[in-house]
Chains A and B, each alone.
Chain A
Amino acid sequence: MKRKQVIWWAGILASLLFTAGLQALKANPAFQQQIQGANTSYQNGNFEDALEKYLSVYEAGMEAPELLLNLGNTYFKLNDIPSAILFYERALRLAPRDEDIRFNLGLAQSRIIDKIEEVPQVFFVRWWHMLRDSLSIRQWARLSLAGLLLTLTFTAIYLISRRLLVKQLFFWVALISMAVTLHAILFAHQQKTNSINKPEAIIFTPTINVKSSPDIGSTDIFVIHEGTKVRITDNIGDWLEIRIPSGSKGWIKTTDLRKI
């Protein structure tokens, strides 16, 4: 009698957790309506109107890879390439393997002035980063939860089972799912700390002379143009230290860029 009660409570708790974990804010109908209106405007070539509607949803704090892709496309059509790149990049953060977003981002990047060659990294670092960036932070978080659940379940089966073969099988399965879980947590954590400590940003000022130190009178080191992606590595006052993909560093004003 008492044992039955415990199992009941556990079941309720578990299902609650899962509905919370897989929770996604199912659309507020007003937002859906806005998006539909924006889609129609876009198809009719009324990009200003489409932009306004998409932005109203985005600025209300909502996001989805599709919404950001559409915003990027709208900016692209309005010939605001830096903004288009910014939103494509943001969309890629949500859906890193979306082929349409990648294609459009590539097209937008071909329209900017700077072509900065990335410094090649050692292959395993590159693979590690590729693996890390193959899922979004939300996806990694979900994977980690699912992995944890599986690990615990498999461990339980391993413990309960009296048959040797079953025990062996579930021992290994549980070990693998534990490794997956730990990596998922690690990647989610890395993505999060990266986006907080060293956020990437898109340049919005048409032409910037990047300074050697956070001082308007200091030497110009190099020139970058709007649309270029940089990584922010430090900040002092309203100055930001940035690093471009080729590895060069310099200081620019906060107003010159927008974080992805």
Chain B
Amino acid sequence: MIGKEKRQSSIAWFPLVITLIVIGSWSEQAWGQEIEFQVNAPQSVVVGQQFRVVYTVNAEGSNFRGPDFKGFSLLSGPNASSSSNIQIINGQVSSTFTYSYTYFLLADKEGSFQVGSAQITIAGKEYQTRPFQVKVVQGQQPKAAAPSGQGGNQPQSGSVSSEDVFFRVSADKANPYQGQQVILVYRIYTRLQINLPGGMQQPPLQGFWMEDLLKDEKAFPQSRETVNGQEYVVVEYKRLAVYPQRSGRIVIEPFEIQVNARVQSRSRTGDPFFDQFFGGSFFNSFSNVPITIKTNSLTLDVKALPGSGRPLDFNGAVGQYTFQAEASPVELKTNDAITLRYTIKGSGNLKMIDKMPITFPSDFETYDPKVLDNISTSRAGMSGSRTFEYLAIPRAPGKHIVKPVIFHFFNPETGQYQSISSPEFSFNVEKGEGDQVQPAYSGVSQEDIKYIGSDIRFIRTGEITLMSQSDLLYGTMRYWIMVAGMLLLFAGFLVMWRRRIRLLADVTRQRNRKASRLARRRLKTSRQLLADQDQKKFYDTLASALWGYVSDKLGIPRANLSMESADEHLKDKGISDEVRGNLRHVLNECEFRRYAPGSEGDGRQSILDMAFAVITHLENELRK
């Protein structure tokens, strides 16, 4: 019976359900015709707190005698009220009656007080309740003092105690790794009808990256739970996947929210069932009492990721993942686009995974990757996939390779780092259509825009003089033969020239040597002609003897000699003026007398002597 009452109170906010329960109650109660007379009172109250004690009976009785509330101030009561309930189910009419007597009391002082039994007479029969104890405490009541068992019922006064509504936070693991997912759940336990502040407030979490797992829910998930024997409605106010960002002890500070509790301010019957059923509309009025509830604080002891075995380019991914990569197309032309997709799938801190360092060939024009998330948040946390989509445009033909990318993550289940490598992609890029280099590209590296539209100069169509490719002329045998031939020719020339010079020199020397002898012989001929009639012949011979001598001595042909040039050459040879003067005199005399007749025989001897003397002097002076 008590259990039944409790159920009624705890389901008071579910009007749809109530009816069903009531039907159930009816079927037990109405047909059993059992008289139930009982009391509903808090087990403990705070000093100064108002509270109610309600006696209910399910049949009309008389002569109700309440107990003596020793130790409490009686504010009012007993206030009698009655309610009836008539139901028609499957054509059967049933009715229940409830009479209640309510006392409003005030706890004056601390202590434990015994309240005696109440009595009532129903159909001539005496019924009485059990006596009960009320504990009056100072200040706020500890949670441990929450009513349990028979006394428990919905509080109906204007006050709300901490066992009516409280707020709890819990974590699914107390000892996670850094970056590992921890589910934090903030639950409100309540026995009252409350209005929640809409879930806009965020708990004060520091040192975490968090993800709200309830953001897609329309209403707060509710369930029922028994705490310390009391049945509560549990509202899941927040469910967060949090990822510790640092290692060490992280304290989750208490989270404080305000809720409005709907509290019945006045009761006519004191019967919770009726009160709830009709709400404030018929008999009761309710008021919203703002109350502040606060969670406990929680401490997580976060383990650092192990330093040993940590890959160099580990970027903080913690969880269970798979890694896949794909690229298309593999065969393409320059300036076509390639799409590379690197997908990380699994559960964990997906949203914190950064792009991996991908080394593209330098001929690829690349852009920042597009991050495609397909992440679902379920009650168990985050899972799904994150894809990095790269767009690359090869600008040069050839075989280009994108080296494998290695994704590292830490698996908290095994406590180990794991690495998954993507395949190596090889792209066969052919030269694109159109022989013009793309202006957009050429503008980057080349200054050839001015050439666009220009063409190469035309071929040569004339007669072509072909040469052998191997014949470079220089260094060939032919070349050296020619050089040698020319040098040979020159050497031949030199030899011939030298010989001729030597020959000429020999002739001169001989004539020089023979000159005196020749001259003397000629002079002898002249002497024989001294007495001759023909003086012309004498002078001719004498002159030719002298000229011949000078010519031979100087090595100059006779024809090239004149008086002046001979004199000049002799002067060059260092002949004294006197000797030259004599020579000139003799020659002049010869010239003069050849054609001058008369003075026969005269002077011939003296001229001849002078000629002899000149030759002798010349001979002497030339020998020096």
Contact = CB atoms under 8 A, between A and B. Distances in A.
Contacts of B485: 13-14, 17
Contacts of A111: 435, 437, 448
Interface string B484-497: 01111110111011
Interface of A: 3, 6, 10, 13-14, 17, 20-21, 23-28, 31-32, 35, 39, 42, 57, 61-64, 66-67, 69-70, 73-74, 76-77, 79, 100, 103-104, 107-108, 110-111, 113, 115, 137-138, 140-142, 144-145, 148-149, 152, 155-156, 159-160, 185, 188-189, 191-192, 205-207, 223, 225-226
A69 B460 contact: yes
Nearest to A3: B496
A145 B490 contact: no
B85 to A, nearest CB: 90
Contact of A32 (B446, B464, B468, B486): B464
Given A21-B482, A148-B483, A137 B460 contact: no
Interface in B405-436: 429, 431, 435
9 contacts: A10-B493, A14-B485, A14-B489, A24-B466, A141-B479, A145-B483, A156-B493, A189-B475, A206-B431
B493 A142 contact: no
| 9 closest residue pairs by CB, A with B | A206-B398, A207-B398, A110-B448, A141-B474, A66-B460, A141-B473, A188-B474, A70-B459, A152-B490
Given A63-B467, A73-B459, A148 B486 contact: yes
B461 interface: yes
B457 A103 contact: yes
B462 interface: yes
A159 B472 CA distance: 34
B459 A42 contact: yes
A16 to B, nearest CB: 8
Which secondary structure characterizes the binding site on chain B?
A: loop
B65 interface: no
A62 B471 CA distance: 10
B361 interface: yes
Interface string B277-311: 00000000000000000000000000000000000
A104 to B, nearest CB: 4
Interface string B435-453: 1010000100111100100
Given A17-B485, A62-B468, A110-B448, A32 B463 contact: yes
Given A21-B473, A70-B460, A148-B483, 20 more contacts: A17-B485, A24-B467, A25-B471, A32-B464, A62-B468, A64-B467, A66-B459, A73-B458, A100-B460, A107-B454, A107-B456, A110-B447, A113-B445, A115-B446, A138-B474, A145-B486, A152-B489, A156-B493, A191-B474, A207-B361
A13 B469 CA distance: 27
Given A20-B482, A62-B467, A66-B464, A76 B474 contact: no
Given A21-B478, A192-B475, A26 B465 contact: yes
Given A6-B492, A10-B489, A141-B474, A207 B400 contact: yes
B481 interface: yes
Nearest to A9: B492
Nearest to A40: B461
Interface in B360-381: 361-363
A61 B468 CA distance: 6
Contacts of A113: 363, 395-396, 445
A24 B464 CA distance: 11
A115 B447 CA distance: 9
B399 interface: yes
Contacts of B472: 137-138, 141, 192
Which of B361, B459, B492 counts the most chain A CB atoms within 10 A? B459
Contacts of B455: 107
B397 interface: yes
Contacts of B493: 10, 156
A6 B491 CA distance: 13
B599 interface: no
Contacts of A141: 472-475, 479
Given A26-B465, A138-B474, A188-B474, A223 B362 contact: yes
B470 interface: yes
Q: Which bucket holds chain B's interface residue count?
A: 35 or more
A3 B499 CA distance: 12
Nearest to A110: B448
A66 B464 CA distance: 7
Contacts of A149: 486
Which secondary structure characterizes the binding site on chain A?
A: helix
Nearest to A69: B460
A189 B475 CA distance: 8
Given A6-B496, A70-B459, A144 B490 contact: no
Contacts of A189: 474-475
Contact of B466 (A39, A63, A77, A226): A63
Contacts of A152: 486-487, 489-490
Contact of B467 (A138, A140, A148): A138
A106 to B, nearest CB: 8
Which of B362, B460, B488, B489 counts the most chain A CB atoms within 10 A? B460
A54 to B, nearest CB: 9
A115 B445 contact: yes
B396 A206 contact: yes
A31 B469 CA distance: 14
B459 A39 contact: yes
Contact of A62 (B454, B469, B475, B488): B469
Nearest to B442: A110
A19 B326 CA distance: 71
A25 B466 contact: yes
Which of B445, B472, B474, B489 counts the most chain A CB atoms within 10 A? B474
Nearest to A159: B497
A206 B432 CA distance: 13
Contacts of A39: 459, 461
Contacts of B395: 113
Contacts of B465: 24, 26-27, 64
Given A6-B496, A148-B486, A25 B459 contact: no
A26 B465 CA distance: 6
Contacts of A137: 472-474
A138 B437 contact: no
A140 to B, nearest CB: 7
B396 A225 contact: yes
Contacts of B458: 73
Nearest to B452: A110
Nearest to A81: B435
B452 to A, nearest CB: 9
A10 B456 contact: no
Contacts of A205: 398
B262 to A, nearest CB: 74
A28 B464 CA distance: 11
Contacts of B398: 205-207, 225-226
A61 B448 CA distance: 35
Contacts of A20: 478, 481-482
Contacts of B494: 159
Contacts of A108: 456
B471 to A, nearest CB: 8
A229 to B, nearest CB: 15
A61 B457 contact: no
Contact of A145 (B448, B454, B464, B479): B479
